[in-house]
Structure 1
Amino acid sequence: MPVPGAGPKALVKRKIDGRALCQLLLKHCPSSEGKPTAVLEKVNTMGGANNAVQTQGSLMRSLGAIESVLECLGYPLQYVAPQSWKRSFNLLGREKTDSLDAARRLYPAAAGDLSRQKDHNRAEAVLLAHWGRGELA
């Protein structure tokens, strides 16, 4: 996701750059190929000691920004619960490194972009796209 820095005193340190996301999507999904269905993970806020209000707000803000860009581009949206797509990869209750390993196995050419443990979110995005491609095709 394209995210510029928001500055050291900002409550939300990073936010999605909608214009850059739009350009990225248009680059990789040219209009000549039709409108691809975008698969988004169905996220919800959760209570609990490990779920800060700022984190929850940031997550929902990011979802809204992504939805807005996709809707402006006219891409159909499909939401999927994490349990649904993770089940197909046997990742329910597993470690973050398992998502990295699964994405690297499916897409060896992407291994360089999935080399660090902190790339687990990127790996899950790859797996979610792979799931969507198989389930929605």
Structure 2
Amino acid sequence: MIAGIDPGAKGAIALLDYDHVEIFDMPMIGKEVNGIEIASIFGEFRPSHIFLEQVNSFGMGRTSAYNFGQGVGVLKGVFQALMIPYTLVTPQKWKKSYGLSKEKDHSRLLATRLYPNLADKFVRVKDDGRAEA
């Protein structure tokens, strides 16, 4: 099993195995990433590797950039504490491998095509975090 993560308050965690997919909205406590819940998820599903989207804070205000960076730090801390290897992947790199543009709708359409049994998870515009995970 591997995991893909779209970090941030509206991001998500996707766990993929050969014949099984689990999707979790990013666990939050207020505006902070909930590291305990993330550790619980990875403790239960135990991915062999995690792919974390490497997003920059360009265009964010100072508070948003701080919260985002803190959340990514929590994620990395959980990975390291659980000794799960991870790779940072830029959005440009993974989207290019699927022939996607920057448009969030394209990610949702691809996720629906790849996982039709989970199509209801990608219906809303705000479900792009799930699709991109």
TM-score by length of 2: 0.75
In structure 2, C-alpha distance between the alignment counterparts of 1:122 and 1:104, rounded to whole Å: 11
Partner amino acid, structure 2, of 1:80: V
Q: Give the corresponding residue for 1:108.
A: 116
Report whether the alignment pairs 1:75 with 2:84.
yes
Residues 100-133 of structure 1: CA deviation (Å, up to 9, x unaligned)? 00011001121122121100011100xxxxxxxx
Q: Give the corresponding residue for 1:124.
A: 132
SS in 1 for 2:48: coil
TM-score by length of 1: 0.73
The answer to which structure has the higher strand fraction is 2
Task: Please state how far the C-alpha of 1:24 moved relative to its aligned partner.
Answer: 0.9
Report whether the alignment pairs 1:3 with 2:15.
no
Residues 4-62 of structure 1: CA deviation (Å, up to 9, x unaligned)? 2x3xxxxxxx2111111111111122xxxxx611111122232xxx4211221121111
SS in 2 for 1:78: strand
- 1:1-137 correspondence runs (5 A): 1-4=26-29, 6=30, 14-29=31-46, 36-46=48-58, 50-93=59-102, 95-125=103-133
In structure 1, C-alpha distance between the alignment counterparts of 2:36 and 2:88, rounded to whole Å: 22
- RMSD of equivalent CA atoms: 1.4
Task: Please state how far the C-alpha of 1:92 moved relative to its aligned partner.
Answer: 2.7
Partner amino acid, structure 1, of 2:98: F
SS in 2 for 1:79: strand
Q: How many residues align?
A: 108
SS in 2 for 1:39: strand
